[in-house]
Structure formats: structure tokens, C-alpha cells
Amino acid sequence: SQQGEEDPQALSIQEGENATMNCSYKTSINNLQWYRQNSGRGLVHLILIRSNEREKHSGRLRVTLDTSKKSSSLLITASRAADTASYFCATGEKIKAAGNKLTFGGGTRVLVKP
Amino acid sequence: SAVISQKPSRDICQRGTSLTIQCQVDSQVTMMFWYRQQPGQSLTLIATANQGSEATYESGFVIDKFPISRPNLTFSTLTVSNMSPEDSSIYLCSVEESAYNEQFFGPGTRLTVL
């Protein structure tokens, strides 16, 4: 079963507006990562936030993490038509051998209208 | 970030046959991961592949159906065996950059089973 749930499932905005999507999860995590996927193609890594961090920025992206509420949000500011894509959160749980096992949320489909 | 390639990029196969998907990374990595993305769905982890040991499979996935090889630190294969139309999905490999725990994905292999 999926660890994360994303909200909303779909979002339609005008170019220039901000887009916010939320991710909730159930168990303890090591980190949380956000990805973008265009039309069923490969995943593009956007940003990683560690469990001891509360906020991170990268360009027009802002990610927050609230471990007490087990939730994260991704904000895209000043959206562009090229931001049209599906966005996924993935929670990372540390595994014994090495690395983190990712569990993905259901995704948010974002449409940015010109 | 690591550059990851997959072969084939897409294939159409007949039911009952098997397909082997290759994943090549341009640097040595400890852990490689295989995911499945069914049509219109999110990603689900199939297994974790550590060089020199047996792959670790997630609940619902078995070695007989999805055998994995990891002969060295830059290469892995996933075989989808005895395929049925329900196996039609995008299969993606990923690697984790140990320094920052960011996980990067290959471009995916789009499989259609008739």
C-alpha cells in the first residue's frame, strides 16, 4: 500500500499563479523527495528534504516538512506552461544494507494554462 | 547526478514470453532499485538490488516472476517472466547518490503485453 497520499489529485491554474500540493504519510521517515513526471516519461528529481529539516528552497520551488503532522507541501511559484506535469512525493525509509527505500504517493496532476 | 540509461526504451511482447530490461549507470553505486508504474498509477518498488547479494523483493513481488541480476556496481537487469497483459507498465530503475541520499531514475522501459 502507498505510504503517501497527495492532495489535490489534480490542479488547474493560470500561468503566473502559484501551485501548492500536499503530501501526507503514515510512518517515520528518513527523508522526503519530490519528483516531476511529464506524460509518462522518466522522473525528474526536484528536491530532497531530510526529516530534521523544516523548509527547503530550490529556484521557484519551496518544500516544507512537518514531521509532527506527517505532511509535506510543494509550492511552485510563478508557474509556467512548462510546469505542466505530474508531481509525486516519495518518503524515504532507511534500509539495512544501505540507502533508502522510497514509497510514492499517488501524485498530483498539474495543468498550467497559458 | 548519475546518468542512468535503460534498454529497451519500449517493447511490445506476446503473453507467455519474457523480457529482460537493462539498467546502466555511469558511476559505481551500492544500491539499485527497480520500480513499476502501471498505467495512470504511481510507482511501486519491486525490489532492491545490492551488488554481490540476492535482491530483496517487496510484498507482492517474487523472484520467479521478476528475477534480477546485479553483476557489478554499474549494471543491473530485471526480467519480467511469463508475461500477461497485467504486466503492461513502465519499469524504472533508480540509484541513490550516497552522499545526499537523492534517488535518481532512469528514463523507464514502457512494456505492452498483448
Best of A43, A49, A86 to disrupt the B interface (most B CBs within 10 Å) is A43
Report d(CA B55, CA B33) in Å as an integer. Answer: 9
CB of B90 within 8 Å of a chain A CB? The answer is: yes
Residue A95: per-residue pLDDT: 82
Residue A5: per-residue pLDDT: 83
Does the domain at residues B4-107 carry the CATH identifier 2.60.120.650?
no
Mean predicted confidence (pLDDT) in B53-63: 93
- Encode pLDDT of A34-66 as tens digits: 999 998 678 999 999 999 999 999 999 999 999
- Encode pLDDT of A90-113 as tens digits: 999 988 767 888 999 999 999 999
Cis, bond preceding A8 (omega within 30 deg of 0): yes
In Å, how far is A52's CA from the nearest CA of chain B? 14
**CA dihedral (A105, B61, B76, B31) positive or negative:** positive
Residue A47: per-residue pLDDT: 96
- Encode pLDDT of A15-42 as tens digits: 999 999 999 999 899 999 999 999 867 8
In Å, how far is A106's CA from the nearest CA of chain B? 5
CB atoms within 10 A of CB B9: 12
Question: Could you tell me how many residues make up chain B?
Answer: 114
Percent of chain A at pLDDT > 90 equals 81
Mean predicted confidence (pLDDT) in B58-79: 95
Residue A2: per-residue pLDDT: 47
Contact criterion met (CB below 8 Å) for B112 and B11: yes
CB of B53 within 8 Å of a chain A CB? The answer is: yes
Report d(CA B8, CA B5) in Å as an integer. Answer: 9
CB of B96 within 8 Å of a chain A CB? The answer is: yes
CB of A92 within 8 Å of a chain B CB? The answer is: yes
Tell me the CATH architecture of domain A5-113.
Answer: Sandwich (2.60)
Domain ranges for chain A, please list them.
5-113
Taking alpha carbons only, the member of A86, A105, A108 closest to residue A29 is: A105
CB of A93 within 8 Å of a chain B CB? The answer is: no
Taking alpha carbons only, the member of B74, B6, B78 closest to residue B48 is: B78
Q: Give the residue on A whose Cα is nearest the Cα of B93.
A: A42
Could you tell me the three cell numbers for B2?
548519475
With cut-offs at 50, 70 and 90, classify the pLDDT of residue A3. low
